[in-house]
Amino acid sequence: MARRFGVESGIIGVTAAAVVSVVVAGALAFSNVGGPSKAEAEGVGSQKAKRAAAPVDSSIAHASDRPGRSLNITIDDGPDPVWTPKVLDVLKRYNVKAVFCMIGPQAEAHPDLVKKVVAAGHKLCDHTVSHNTAMDKQPESYQSQQILDAQKMIEKAAGGAQVEYYRAPGGAFTPYSRKLAADHGMRPLGWNIDSKDFEGGTVERIESTVRGELPNRTGPTVLFHDGGGNRSRTVDSLNRLLPWMQSQGYGFGFPKR
């Protein structure tokens, strides 16, 4: 219709074309307000394509992707506006990368912190919506909601960066939750050394616990927390333990996917 109308009246046709161009340009500009840039959209798309292309093992990860004498540092229950920045500062001081296992609503509430974690080269882990340590006693529909909703919250807060791991609260994995996580690109993630920093002991006690467990460890993954309470002792113990670990010849990697 527009083509025939333009032939019948050249002047009106040119005017109509100009109006259409202005309308289209305006619509495109409006659609980009507050939305992702082309680069961001392509980045999210490439993450989704990568996730779809690479199948993930549903067994619980323990090994490190770094050969030799290596540890995986994992940080749970954040992000927290007080403690996460302090933990990030300590990790930066010793050039250590870690996996941050985040609670979905915490990530949603503090997207700036999630982006800082990603920008510093750390990796993301889904630690559910509600941190229910009885996840394994719940129906599959509940497990699915807890895991997938948290994944969406964290990835949105991160600007599209991929959540690469899933850690069940309290280690309450089920065969269903492990497969669900793996099917959505997240390797189930366990731990081998529990710092017990959540128990509220002294810095010396946390340090002693980790040092004592290292020789007898069954794998390289160490558990700390940056959320769920006052984590000043965690920050102080990391400041002591990371340089000590390095002096013992340990390097730091990520859990194998």
Query: Residue 250 and residue 97: Cα distance in Å, rounded?
Result: 13
- The total number of residues written for the chain in this structure: 257
The residue annotated as part of the active site, out of 110, 122, 131, 225, is 225
- C-beta of residue 75 within 8 angstroms of C-beta of residue 226: yes
Q: Is 77 a catalytic residue?
A: no
Query: Residue 124 and residue 98: Cα distance in Å, rounded?
Result: 9
Q: Is 226 a catalytic residue?
A: no
Handedness of CA 153, 257, 136, 124 (dihedral sign): negative
With CA atoms as reference, report the closest residue to 221 among 75, 6, 116, 54: 75
Query: Residue 206 and residue 133: Cα distance in Å, rounded?
Result: 22
- C-beta of residue 140 within 8 angstroms of C-beta of residue 175: no
Give the residue numbers marked as catalytic: 76, 225
